[in-house]
Amino acid sequence: MIKKVATLSIWLLSCVGAISVGFSTKDTFRSLALKKGIETGVAVAVSDLNKEAHINIIKENSSIVVAENCMKWQYIHPAENKWYWKDVDDLVKFAESNEMNVKFHTLFWHNQNPSFLSEKWSREKAIAVMDDHIATIMTRYKGRIKEYDVVNEMFDEDGSLRKTIWLNTIGEDYIEHALIKARECDPKAKLYLNDYSNETMGHPKADAMFNFVKKLKEKGVPIDGVGFQLHIDTAYGFDADRIRKNVKRYADIGVLVSFSEVDVRIPQKNFESHLAKQQKIYRDLLKIAVEEPNVPNFIMWGFTDAQSWVPYTFRGKGHALPYDEKLNPKPFYEEMLKDLKK
């Protein structure tokens, strides 16, 4: 794998950090990936920060962290004038004391919303609430949280805009509006639009997202990147070439692509017979992330099968993450480490 020189500064910075906070110098997923010019990380649950074994795994693997849930509206902004900061503050402090970046996930989404959000609001009222949400969060964490999923999952499967409260109250320009406001609140933060099933060039959702982002760029709307969530199921097609092509077309229009929520699920039954396929997918994705200069990070949606969302959502599926339920690293993860050492 070739090294990306552009982000070498992150690695150098991290080495300085590693010395000052007393990390061992052993090669880790985090340190090896940084040498290749890419940040890696995992989604962190609030409870992870109370468990030493979990903390150690997060440190070994992450130069960037994202909250699995606590940054979502339901938790951080449960009522119009009520905010709950503790869990996010704790994660940001943890990240800072371990020289990690933080991704905020997510300012706007159709899920995990509080009941005070109302479809009956006028456009003006909805914009006021939206602006307040963005400004309150981004002012508090200015300079400390360096990237934001401004809107999450804004497309339907056919590539049309999803009918969320924000689309229904504000209209199609709600995304533009959110991006402009976010840039105003923290001009240095990287602003992303994040979605699933948007990674494979030629898929209606992937093409719709690309065309949408291209138009935003042409209009001068501030946007730095898109997130490919990459919740992959080995039962469906996986086409590394078309994913790479999709990444490259974003590079052509000056847009970053975060691999933002990677996990690869397989059937629980006879799972051993699916491991080779799973390993290939993980390694292919990491290879693309390392090699393509506009992919700044590779983030997995958790680390242990003991607390993955997968078995709760897809009956009979699981084994999607790099550590098993007992926190043992899996062979595919060891292979990824070897790839990073090449």
The two tokens of residue 8 are 């070498």
Instruction: Give the residue from 153, 336, 322 showing the smallest Cα distance to 227.
Output: 153
By CB under 6 A, tell whether 271 contacts ligand 9MR: no
Q: Which of 39, 60, 68, 87 forms a contact with ligand 9MR (CB under 6 A)?
A: 68
CA 72 to chain centre: 13
176: left (phi over 0), alpha (psi -120 to 50) or beta: alpha
Q: What's the min distance (Å) between Cβ of 74 and ligand 9MR?
A: 9
Residues 256 and 224 sit within 8 Å (Cβ to Cβ): yes
Closest to ligand 9MR by CB, 68 vs 292, is: 68
335 is catalytic: no
Closest to ligand 9MR by CB, 142 vs 163, is: 163
Compose the 21-60 pattern: x for residues touching ligand 9MR by CB under 6 A, - for all others: ----------------------------------------
261 is catalytic: yes
Q: Which of 111, 118, 168, 328 forms a contact with ligand 9MR (CB under 6 A)?
A: 111
- CA pair distance 264, 4, nearest whole angstrom: 25
Closest to ligand 9MR by CB, 42 vs 170, is: 42
Q: What's the min distance (Å) between Cβ of 69 and ligand 9MR?
A: 5
Residues 114 and 78 sit within 8 Å (Cβ to Cβ): yes
Neighbours of 52 (CB within 10 A): 8
CA 304 to chain centre: 17
The two tokens of residue 217 are 């760029």
- CA pair distance 15, 21, nearest whole angstrom: 10
68, 147, 199, 261: the active-site residue: 261
Q: Which of residues 304-333 bind ligand 9MR (CB under 6 A)?
A: 309
Closest to ligand 9MR by CB, 7 vs 234, is: 234
Closest to ligand 9MR by CB, 99 vs 149, is: 149
153, 157, 199, 291: the active-site residue: 153
Closest to ligand 9MR by CB, 229 vs 279, is: 229
Q: What's the min distance (Å) between Cβ of 35 and ligand 9MR?
A: 29
The two tokens of residue 186 are 């923290």
Instruction: Give the residue from 295, 216, 279, 229 showing the smallest Cα distance to 37.
Output: 295
Q: Which of 69, 74, 136, 268 forms a contact with ligand 9MR (CB under 6 A)?
A: 69
DSSP E strands in the chain: the ranges are 39-44, 64-67, 101-108, 147-152, 190-195, 225-228, 231-233, 256-267, 297-300, 317-318
Which residue number has the CB closest to ligand 9MR?
309
DSSP E strands in 112-189: the ranges are 147-152
- CA pair distance 186, 108, nearest whole angstrom: 17
Q: What's the min distance (Å) between Cβ of 68 and ligand 9MR?
A: 5
Q: Which of residues 117-146 bind ligand 9MR (CB under 6 A)?
A: none
By CB under 6 A, tell whether 261 contacts ligand 9MR: yes
- The values of phi and psi at residue 274, to 5°, are -105, 0
How many residues line the site for ligand 9MR (CB under 6 A)?
A: 8
By CB under 6 A, tell whether 229 contacts ligand 9MR: yes
Question: Which residues belong to the active site?
Answer: 153, 261
Contact footprint for ligand 9MR (CB under 6 A): 68-69, 111-112, 152, 229, 261, 309
